[in-house]
Amino acid sequence: MIIKITDQPLDLQELIADVTTEANGGVVAFLGVVRRWNDGPDGQPREVHWLEYEAYKDAAEEVMRDIARQVAEKWGLTSLAMAHRVGHLEIGEPAVAVAVGAPHRGVAFDACEFAIDTLKATVPIWKKESWETGADMGQSWVVNKESLQES
Amino acid sequence: MIIKITDQPLDLQELIADVTTEANGGVVAFLGVVRRWNDGPDGQPREVHWLEYEAYKDAAEEVMRDIARQVAEKWGLTSLAMAHRVGHLEIGEPAVAVAVGAPHRGVAFDACEFAIDTLKATVPIWKKESWETGADMGQSWVVNKESLQES
Amino acid sequence: MDKVKLKFFAAFRETTGQSELDWPLAAGQTAGDVLESLVVEYPALSGGVKSALVMVNRRYATRQTALQPGDEVAFLPPVGGG
Amino acid sequence: MDKVKLKFFAAFRETTGQSELDWPLAAGQTAGDVLESLVVEYPALSGGVKSALVMVNRRYATRQTALQPGDEVAFLPPVGGG
């Protein structure tokens, strides 16, 4: 089971091979790619120059393994692989990749969506965005709307 | 937009690149891989030796383009690419690949699942399975449970 | 005489031993009419074609679809792609 | 004196200017107690840490979690991965 935080470019084929078994004919993969346009806090789109991802590496991999355990509990005979990149990323580069293999495709879709949703809410990774709007530019830590927070 | 029936090995990276745009940061892909074990008509698993896919090529590509049009109508700014292989396939080889890019990942998951479900129900492709159960062996045309039929 | 081109796939191709056939078309005939004449020639098809879908010129049609000379007509076994 | 290791990430790393710090731990102190003493030293953290999640030894914990000497403690800004 591939679970990793890495500063190297992500290799989706490696993850797919990791979850494709003789029993798992349905493979669903999610790839999150750096977009040029992202909404700012006011909801207005701003142009992204680059992103810088930072992780609490050991803890992030531990939480990702915990997501794999939750997937196994919920959906049984599935295989999951997840990788998240850290460091400097340019537009068009994949930041995160998730692959799920299952005997039936409905399960693979559900488990893959659960895994990326849970990753975005719970895995200790942070993203700094370098942006400009034309009138303004800056660098900001961008928070996921799914992010868990102490209330 | 890549839409094709091909006798060459499928290249998922090519499909993913085709749907990844500066606006589409969420990419969901489905890969259907030949499994060693498949249930026979009696529900008992049988071992698969190989598959042979046959398509009504021009019509299949037309129906696949129609699926892309339905996706665009339902989900707006999405990109879709689909490829299905024909000919002789061994265990572990991908038979079908679908990739969907969308600005938001929920849409990409929904559209990708819709596309493969609709492909399995409507695209004129047939599959002959060479199988054995230990006691018995044979070659059978295997029908999708989703397949549309005249009633 | 006017003709249509019939296409056969998978089990129907094996049953007829043909991938395609030119088939006579009388004025006003529908896809269903052609299917009936086909089953007379190839009785082994009669079971399988009951649930067959119909395509005319590579688009889904019905047994009621009226045919034109030169149309490409296919009766499709239940599909198994993916 | 007993100590814990504090880890800082993202905005908190920038605010403190530190990636990690050894921090004194009195007997019976919880993660919340340590956080209070941290904010006294780094008042600029006081706004941000209100909603911070807590990890002890790389697993999610709470402000009520009792700490042991040598524990690795992190107060996390809202995450942004994916």
Q: DSSP for C31-57?
A: HHHHHHHHHHH-GGGTTGGGG-EEEET
Residues B72 and D35: their CA atoms lie apart, in Å, by 51
Say if B143 falls within a structural domain: no
- Which domain covers residue D11, as residue numbers? 2-76
Taking CB atoms and an 8 Å limit, are D79 and A62 in contact across chains? no
Here the CATH number for the domain that contains residue D17 is 3.10.20.30
> What CATH number has the domain bearing residue A44?
3.90.1170.40
The candidate with the shortest Cα–Cα distance to A36, out of D38, B25, B58, is B25
The tokens describing B65, both together, are: 């383009």
Q: How many Cα atoms are found within 13 Å in the side-chain-facing hemisphere of A46?
A: 22
Q: What is the pLDDT of residue A25?
A: 87
* Partners of C53 in beta bridges: C76
| Alpha-helical regions (H) of A76-141 | 105-122
Tell me what the mean pLDDT of segment D19-25 comes to: 97
Confidence of residue B20 (pLDDT cuts 50, 70, 90): very high
Distances (CA, A) of C65 to A91, C51, D76: 51, 16, 66
Q: Which amino acid is at D38?
A: L
Answer yes or no: is A34 within a domain.
yes
Q: Is residue D82 part of a domain?
A: no
Is the complex ipTM higher than 0.95? no
Q: Is residue B148 part of a domain?
A: no
Residue A38 half-sphere exposure toward CB, CA atoms < 13 A: 25
Mutate which: A22, A91, A112, vs B, most B CBs within 10 A: A22
* C32: Cα separation from own chain's centroid: 8
Cα distance from C43 to chain B (closest Cα, Å)?
A: 19
Nearest to A4 by CA among A142, A90, A99, A78: A99
pTM: 0.94
- Residues from chain B that touch A30, judged by Cβ atoms under 8 A, are 26-29, 105, 108-109
Which of A143, A145, A151 should one mutate to test binding to chain D, selecting the residue with the greatest count of D CBs within 10 A? A143
What is the per-residue pLDDT for D1?
A: 85
Beta bridge partners of B125: B55
The interface residues of chain B toward chain A in range 123-142, judged by CB-CB distance below 8 A, are: none
Element (H, E) at C7: strand C3-7
Tokens of B124: 């004129």
* Domain assignment of residue B151, yes or no: no
Domain count across chain B? 1
> Considering CB atoms only, which of D9, D52, D53 is closest to A126?
D9
CA gap B98, B110 in Å, rounded: 12
Q: Chain A contact for B35, CB < 8 A? A: yes
pLDDT tens-digit map of B92-142: 999 999 999 998 899 999 999 999 999 999 999 999 999 999 889 999 999
Q: Which of A25, A23, A16 is nearest to A80 (CA)?
A: A16
List Cβ<8 Å contacts ≥24 apart for A8-12.
A8/A85, A9/A85, A9/A93, A9/A94, A10/A83, A10/A85, A10/A94, A10/A95, A10/A96, A10/A97, A11/A83, A12/A94, A12/A97, A12/A99, A12/B12, A12/B13, A12/B16
Alpha helix locations (H) across D1-82? 10-16, 31-41
Report the domain count for chain C: 1
Tokens standing for residue C78: 């239940």
CB contact under 8 A, B124 and C74: yes
Is residue A41 helix, strand or coil? coil
Q: Would you give per-residue pLDDT tens digits along chain A (151 residues)?
A: 999 999 999 999 999 999 998 888 899 999 999 999 888 888 888 999 999 999 999 999 999 999 999 999 999 978 999 999 999 999 999 999 999 999 889 999 999 999 999 999 999 999 999 999 988 999 999 999 999 887 7
Q: Is residue A88 part of a domain?
A: yes
Give the structural domain span for B20: 3-131
The size of the A-D interface in CB pairs under 8 A is 91
User: In what side-by-side order are the strands of the sheet with D53-56?
Assistant: D20-24, D3-7, D72-76, D53-56, D59-61
- Asked whether residue C82 is domain-assigned, the answer is no
- Residue-wise burial string across B33-65, b where 16 or more C-beta atoms lie within 10 A, e elsewhere: bbbeebeeeeeeebbbeebbbbbbbebbbbbbe
Residue located via tokens 């003789």: A22
∠ at Cα A74 (A72, A80), nearest 5°? 35
Instruction: Establish if B7 belongs to a structural domain.
Output: yes
Interface residue of B130, B143, B145, B151 to substitute, partner C, most C CBs within 10 Å: B143
Beta bridge partners of C55: C60, C74
Structure tokens at B100: 């969907």
In the sheet that holds C59-61, the strands lie side by side as C20-24, C3-7, C72-76, C53-56, C59-61
Q: Is residue D16 part of a domain?
A: yes
The tens digit of pLDDT for each residue in B24-54 reads: 889 999 999 999 988 888 888 899 999 999 9
Question: C71 lies in a domain?
Answer: yes
